Every structure is written in C-alpha cells, then in structure tokens.
Structure 1
C-alpha cells in the first residue's frame, strides 16, 4: 500500500461497510505510517480515470490485549507485540468471489510471519464470523468489561477472534 492508494481505499470501504464502520483517511495514513509492511492493496491496471483497486488489507503488530477502536490514530505500536492484528480486509463488489480477499490475507500473513509474529487476531463483524471460523479463527477471551465496549463499535455480534500463524 502507498499513500496514493488512500482515496481508492476510502471508496472501497464505502462499498463494503455501513456508514458507522467507515474510517477516515487519517486512520489509513496512520496505520500505513506505523506498519507499512503490513498494509496491502490488490489492484489491476485500469484505463485512465477508472480506479483499479480491487481490495485492501490493513494490519499491524499488536499485543493481543483489547482490540483497537475504530478510526482512532495510534501514536505507536505496542512494544513486544506478538500478534498480527488484521484490522480490515475489504473487496469491492466487482471483485468478490475472485479470491482477492484470500490473496490479500495470505500475502499479509506471510509478511507477518517474516516479521516474527506467530498469532493472528481480528475483530469479526457478525456477518463474517462464519467465514473467519472456516479460516481457523476462534473467539478469543479477553478479561474485563472493556472488550464489550470495544466490540460494540463494530456492530452487533462482533467477535474478537484469534488463531496461530501460518494460515
């Protein structure tokens, strides 16, 4: 992912998510600045004036504590992070069913392994929990009332999930 991809990412997320889940350009720029080797796009050569972005994936090293809040900039990543946090993976409708999301996840997970991360975690939207379970993710218990508050921002039936790497 490059800084120039952010406009395409903003357009893609509006096709993939309801308004309450949309994150700002500043959020994507923040994560790209903190973890450039963990942020990916899938695109295709497109005619002039047509966006070739097929999908994107935002991830970064994390400490397996509470998941980060939506659309909140981080000053830094946690020292000693041991998890790969898959924050967001979205595919535009015209590319769904082509394996774009799976290719993004595999590429990013490979990079996470190269960076020494051995577990993966994510917050699954309620509608995607079955997909992530089929990918080997299982609900993750995190003590405290803070988890429920964080998950509420992701919508009903959102779950914090984890699995071992490699995928």
Structure 2
C-alpha cells in the first residue's frame, strides 16, 4: 500500500461498510506510517498501466489486550507486540468471490509469522463471524466492560476473535 492508494481505499471502504464504521484518510495514513509492511492493496492491471483497486488490508503488530478503537490515530505500536491485528480487510463488490480477500490475508499473515508474531486477532462484524470461525479464529470472551465497550463501536454482535499461528 502507498499513500496514493488512500482515495481508492476510501471509495472501497464506503462500498463495503455502513457509514458508522467508515474511517478517515488520516487513519489509513497513520497505520501505513506505523506498519507499512502490514498494509496491502490488491489491484487489477489495466492496459493503461494504472491499477484498479480490488481490495485492501490494514493490519499491524498489536498486543493481547483490547482491540484498538476505530478511526483513532496511534502514536506508536505497542512495544513487545506478539499479535498480528487484522484491523480491516475489504473487497469491492465487483471482485468478491475471486479470492482477493483470502490472498490479502494470506500474504499479510505470512509476513507477520516471519516477523515472529505468535497469534492473530481481529474484530469481526456479525456478518463475518462464521467466515473467521472457518479459518480457525475463536471468539474471546467479552467478560470485561472495557472490551464490551470497545466492541460496541464496531456494531451489534461484533466479536473479538483470536487464533494461534501454525508454527
């Protein structure tokens, strides 16, 4: 991902999510600045040599604590992070079913494992929980008020999920 991709990412995000989940250009630029090797885009080649965005993935090293809030800049990544946090992966409607999302997740997860991160975590929207369950993620109990409060910002029935990386 490059900073020049952000306008297309904002367009893709608007197609994929309800308005209350939309994050700003500043958010994407912040995560790109903090973890460039963990932020990816998928593009289709066009004859005029400009790619058409098919999807994007935002992720970064994180700790086992609470998930980050939506659309908030981070001053730094947590020291000693041992998790790969998959913050967002979206595919434009015309590219759904082509394996774009799976390819983005696989590429970014492989890099995270190579960097020594031991677990993966994410917040799943209600509509995607079964997808992540099929991929080995398990819900983390929201037994603290603080976690439940964070998840509420992601919408009803959002789940914090985690899995170990296969070593």
Give the TM-score, by structure 2 length.
Answer: 0.95
Q: Name the CA distance, whole Å, in 1 between partners of 2:60 and 2:68.
A: 11
Q: Name the CA distance, whole Å, in 1 between partners of 2:43 and 2:128.
A: 23
Matches within 5 A, 1:101-140: 101-140=101-140
Q: How big is the shift at 1:118?
A: 1.3
| Cα offsets for 1:116-153 (capped at 9, x unmatched) | 10100000000100000001000013652110110000
Q: Determine the structure 2 residue equivalent to 1:83.
A: 83
| Cα offsets for 1:63-105 (capped at 9, x unmatched) | 0100000000000000000000000000000000000000000
Q: Name the CA distance, whole Å, in 2 between partners of 1:75 and 1:33.
A: 10
Q: How big is the shift at 1:46?
A: 2.8
- Root-mean-square deviation (CA), in Å? 1.6
Q: Name the CA distance, whole Å, in 2 between partners of 1:118 and 1:46.
A: 38
Q: How big is the shift at 1:47?
A: 5.4
Where structure 2 has 5 or more consecutive residues not aligned to the other structure, the ranges are none
Q: Determine the structure 1 residue equivalent to 2:23.
A: 23
Where structure 1 has 5 or more consecutive residues not aligned to the other structure, the ranges are none
Q: Name the CA distance, whole Å, in 1 between partners of 2:114 and 2:51.
A: 31
Which has the larger displacement, 85-94 or 137-146?
137-146
Give the TM-score, by structure 1 length.
Answer: 0.95
Q: Name the CA distance, whole Å, in 1 between partners of 2:142 and 2:74.
A: 20
Q: Determine the structure 2 residue equivalent to 1:99.
A: 99
Matches within 5 A, 1:139-150: 139-141=139-141, 144-150=144-150
Contact in 1 for aligned 2:142/2:148 (Cα 8 Å): no
Query: Residue 85 of structure 2: SS of its match in structure 1?
Result: strand
